[in-house]
A and B are shown apart, each in its own frame.
Chain A
């Protein structure tokens, strides 16, 4: 990985961090305010691709772990990695990787529809598939109970997936960071 790739990885780790400083937005009709942080997860995968996107979120978690309070609500430190909702944190690098992988698959014909598919599968399905069992494991809760709790966040996540897709398609047109598959083979 070249220094440029490291800089992109650091940049998106920082973007996710800055999105954590954005106060949660209350949306009319939703029971919970939506936080912007998972938007950064989706953007990291969609803009950087699988490897760099996943790494960006790993770096972000490392920064949280060393005590920089950049999780939404000013949280940080090692405590957030053992709470009942820590599974959602662990899911972020995986989610960014999956989104990036799906994005690379359809990079040549990357349209809004493809972007949506990638962000919905990676940003919502993967996140919940890891986060929900983790909550029930850590809190001794039945799976159904923690799944019900997570339902409140689905509408917000749908909004974010749509937003991330629109942005990702526009960024690809203006400043493509992922290279076409044939050139990737030789890229360092």
Chain B
């Protein structure tokens, strides 16, 4: 299973997924109320201590999440140097850096299943409009199963075309691929229904709705 989770037993790993997400959400809102470089630098140091010191994550794990935004942050800072001043630029860059690192920390220390459980929990209020939280989990599980399946089908069509001497994937190949996987999804849903996926009782949902 492809995932960004790094196994471990540190207090950060053991903290409940819901708590970690709540802290992250709080940071997301709170940091924008802070515009002092010292405070932001302090929070950044705190996140780094938690990640590298307490959770003992390899530096590469955090860096992998920062690398894609690195150029953007540099451009952002350069822009502020020209238009406003270095302090404003540092605040904007630090804020984003802290958020990206904190999010990477949560992702690296929390199992996918625990986060899916939080998603299901968050979906509970949706029961009022007829959504069954368990089916939210089911859709995510199906998506995770479909990803390697779709990739496999795509690779098969690419190989078949390469065998016939085609250099690159033609648009025409996408249509049969889509139809093949749509059929597959249909078959899977029938199999699920045959195993009773459709008659899970929900307290507030009317039958036949998800």
Task: List the interface of chain A (C-beta within 8 A of B).
Answer: 1-11, 13-15, 17-18, 21, 43, 47, 55, 59-60, 62-63, 65-70, 73-85, 138-142, 145, 163, 166-167, 170-171, 174-175, 177, 188
Contacts and interface: CB of A to CB of B under 8 A. Distances in A.
Contacts of B80: 140
Nearest to B32: A138
A163 B171 contact: yes
B208 interface: yes
Contact of B144 (A68, A82, A170, A175): A68
Contact of A10 (B64, B79, B143): B143
Nearest to A4: B189
Name the interface size band of chain B.
Answer: 35 or more
Interface of B: 2-5, 21, 24, 28, 64-65, 68-69, 72, 76, 79-80, 83-84, 88, 92, 96, 99-101, 103-104, 106-108, 110, 112, 115-116, 119, 135, 138-140, 142-147, 149-151, 154, 171, 174-175, 178-179, 181-186, 188-190, 192-193, 197-198, 208-210
21 contacts: A2-B210, A4-B189, A4-B190, A6-B139, A7-B192, A8-B182, A8-B186, A11-B182, A14-B145, A18-B151, A59-B140, A60-B143, A67-B112, A70-B2, A75-B68, A80-B103, A82-B103, A139-B79, A141-B79, A145-B79, A167-B174
A85 B181 CA distance: 31
A10 B146 CA distance: 7
A81 B24 CA distance: 11
A145 B79 CA distance: 10
By Cβ-Cβ distance, the 9 closest A-B pairs, closest first, are: A77-B107, A14-B146, A78-B103, A10-B142, A1-B210, A79-B103, A66-B115, A7-B189, A82-B99
B205 to A, nearest CB: 10
Nearest to A47: B178
A174 B112 contact: no
A52 B28 CA distance: 29
Contacts of B140: 10, 59, 62-63, 66
A84 B96 CA distance: 8
Contacts of A141: 76, 79
Contacts of A76: 4, 107
A14 B83 CA distance: 42
A73 B179 contact: no
